[in-house]
Amino acid sequence: MTATAAAAAKPGAPVDPEPPRRRATVKDWINRSLLVLIAILVVVAAFVLPRIYDAKYQVRDRGVGAAQPAPVLSPDQEALYVDKTVTSAAHPGAVVEGKDGYYFLGDTQNANFSQAVGRRAYSPAEVDQEAGALRAQQVYLASQGIPLAFVVAPAKWEIYPDKLPAWTDGLPMTHIFDQLRKAYPDLPLVDVRQDLRDARKTADTYSPMNSHWTDYGAAVAFEGIAAWLEKHAQSIGAVPVPKVDGVQTKPDYNNELDPLYGIKGTNPWTVPQYSAPLPGYQLTLAGGQPAQVPGGTAIDASTMPAETSNPAAPNKKRVLVLADSTTTALSPLLAATFAETKMVRHYLDAPGLAPSVPQLVADFKPDLVLYSMTERHFNQPLADGPVWDGANRFTASKDTVASWPQADPDACSGPANLSQPLTCRVDAGTAVALKVTATSDKPADVQLTAGDHKVALHLGSGPSTTYAVLPSQIAKNDIVMTAITAGASANITGVEIRAVT
């Protein structure tokens, strides 16, 4: 006990006045606290804010999984691969010959054979990128009551691994589809691989000299797709499947390797025999008039966009189909099952040609959005995650800070046709999401610049809608739009800017 405390403890003892040094102690405490606070702010600025920025302004939903780096080929395996597919190959880079007369596309087609043996797999960052883009699109569609189904049409090497050449034994065999399903098991990915493997007991689901499923393979896949939809997209109701009674084999049909690479050979092709003929439907091709076509008529992807109408269909819903060549064999079943469909090439393998999916959704108002993508197109991860993230954040906000030209004709200045830059001014004091509408005579890109921040906005052919997000420290700048696709006639029809958190 100190002398002061002892004196204070005695009855009747005088109490000493407050020592002057106590005020100094409080002052020192305040100074030390300020120093600590400053240090904390420095740490926050250096380490925490960048992570907050990433969490807010990038595609944020990373799912529940943890993607791991894929195994890589050893130097000896790499040398073997290059020798067998390029150096000593009969068709270098184009085609790989397997067992029993089966051929597989090579790496000139979306790194197809590298994907087959695990030479091309996703990095953890690519897994996150693909999953984030899919999830963001799913969230956007769900906000409008529209389910998303992303059908992966398996590569032939998934269903016929026993036909791969013997020299591939021992290679990693990591497949991107499996990486995604393992890291993000709840993505809306429709997996029909096992259905197609099991159906081989009845008849072949792929052919030796074509990379696509056969017509019978497509029928097997459609049954799996219907089962997935009934479980995961219940809002569209029952999806009846035409009953297959048997399989007929065309002895030589649809050898795609002959016109592509001059590889001759017979190609048995399996065709389902339905218990009842598929119903006819009305088909409208791009720029054409509606025409009644017989049931079973396939729609080649090269003729899309295409619309079908079938009032007698067992399911009365409207389906937007984002398609590629695998959709051709599915198209008669889609047209027979759903009252209306709109089939449009997705160009996931060539994003510069991609349509504006938000615009298609706004125009067609589907009950379901269904992608049909051949597996090798995984080679190029989806790059439109920021667009869908922008769409979600724009939709969630009601705080419009500028709307050009309708509500705020002075918010932007410059020619709408982008012959010169179009400049929009906003000082929201917070992050902003932009909705940009436009028309273009062909697919085109527009560069959006705010300070040192640049975003490429993709426009489809015809009307387009796209989205972008600018963080708060960037949104205080002028937003400048310039054309970057030579020869495109693009016209900005509207810009709406909303404050977002």
The verdict on residue 4 lying in a domain is no
Check residues 68 and 84 and name the one with the higher pLDDT.
Answer: 84
Domain match, 262 and 341 both: yes
Domain match, 355 and 411 both: no
The verdict on residue 11 lying in a domain is no
CA-to-CA distance for 305 and 307, rounded, in angstroms?
A: 7
Domain match, 377 and 410 both: no
- Please report the pLDDT score of residue 63 as a whole number: 47
| Whether 440 contacts 459, CB under 8 Å | yes
Domain match, 81 and 183 both: yes
Whole-angstrom CA distances from 152 to 13, 160, 372, 471 are 90, 16, 6, 35
Number of domains in the chain: 2
- Please report the pLDDT score of residue 486 as a whole number: 87
Which of 238, 242, 326, 331 is closest to 278 using CA atoms? Answer: 242
- Which of 319, 353, 383 represents a domain boundary (last residue)? 383
Domain match, 343 and 421 both: no
Judged against a pLDDT cut of 50, whether residue 279 lies above it is answered with yes
Domain match, 234 and 296 both: yes
The verdict on residue 111 lying in a domain is yes
CA-to-CA distance for 67 and 317, rounded, in angstroms?
A: 36
Q: Which of 73-87, 198-212, 408-422, 426-440 is predicted least confidently?
A: 426-440
Interhelix angle 124-142/176-183, rounded to 10 degrees, is 60
List the beta bridge partners of residue 437.
465, 494
Whole-angstrom CA distances from 500 to 56, 400, 412, 471, 476 are 10, 9, 20, 9, 14
Which of 243, 335, 250, 329 is closest to 285 using CA atoms? Answer: 335
Which of 360, 348, 353 is closest to 384 using CA atoms? Answer: 348
Q: CB-based contacts of 209: which residues, under 8 Å, 6+ apart?
A: 101, 103, 255, 256, 257, 258, 263, 265, 267
- Please report the pLDDT score of residue 425 as a whole number: 85
The verdict on residue 474 lying in a domain is yes
Peptide bond between residue 305 and the one before it cis (omega within 30 degrees of 0): yes
CA-to-CA distance for 320 and 389, rounded, in angstroms?
A: 21
The verdict on residue 461 lying in a domain is yes
- Please report the pLDDT score of residue 1 as a whole number: 41
The verdict on residue 316 lying in a domain is yes
Domain match, 308 and 363 both: yes
CA-to-CA distance for 450 and 453, rounded, in angstroms?
A: 5
* Length, in residues, of the chain: 501
Q: Which of 4-13, 263-272, 358-367 is predicted least confidently?
A: 4-13
φ, ψ at 311 (rounded to 5°)? -60, -25
Domain match, 118 and 143 both: yes
Q: How confident is the model at residue 475 (pLDDT cuts 50, 70, 90)?
A: low
Domain match, 405 and 366 both: no
Domain match, 271 and 407 both: no
Instruction: Kindly report the average pLDDT of the chain as a whole number.
Output: 89
- Please report the pLDDT score of residue 472 as a whole number: 81
Peptide bond between residue 69 and the one before it cis (omega within 30 degrees of 0): no
CATH code: domain of residue 421: 2.60.120.260
Q: What is the average per-residue pLDDT within 127-142?
A: 98
Domain match, 485 and 429 both: yes
CA torsion angle 133 496 305 193 (round to 10) = 10
Whole-angstrom CA distances from 80 to 115, 219, 225, 353, 467 are 16, 38, 38, 36, 46
Q: Which of 26-35, 261-270, 357-366 is predicted least confidently?
A: 26-35
Q: Kind of pairing, strands 422-424 and 412-413?
A: antiparallel
- Please report the pLDDT score of residue 240 as a whole number: 97
- Which of 316, 350, 383 represents a domain boundary (last residue)? 383
| Whether 57 contacts 431, CB under 8 Å | yes
Hey, is 293 helix, strand or coil?
strand
Judged against a pLDDT cut of 90, whether residue 389 lies above it is answered with yes
pLDDT tens sequence across 23-66:
444 445 445 544 444 444 333 333 333 333 333 333 434 444 56
Which of 424, 448, 446, 434 is closest to 490 using CA atoms? Answer: 446
List the beta bridge partners of residue 456.
447
Q: What is the average per-residue pLDDT within 294-313?
A: 96
Q: Which of 194-203, 214-223, 278-287, 427-436 is predicted least confidently?
A: 427-436
Structure tokens belonging to residue 319: 């389906």
List the beta bridge partners of residue 444.
459
Q: What is the average per-residue pLDDT within 426-437?
A: 88
Hey, is 440 helix, strand or coil?
strand
- Please report the pLDDT score of residue 121 as a whole number: 98
The verdict on residue 36 lying in a domain is no
Q: Which domain holds residue 417?
A: 398-500
Q: pTM to 2 decimals? A: 0.86
The verdict on residue 31 lying in a domain is no
Domain match, 364 and 481 both: no
Q: What is the average per-residue pLDDT within 107-123?
A: 98
Judged against a pLDDT cut of 60, whether residue 129 lies above it is answered with yes
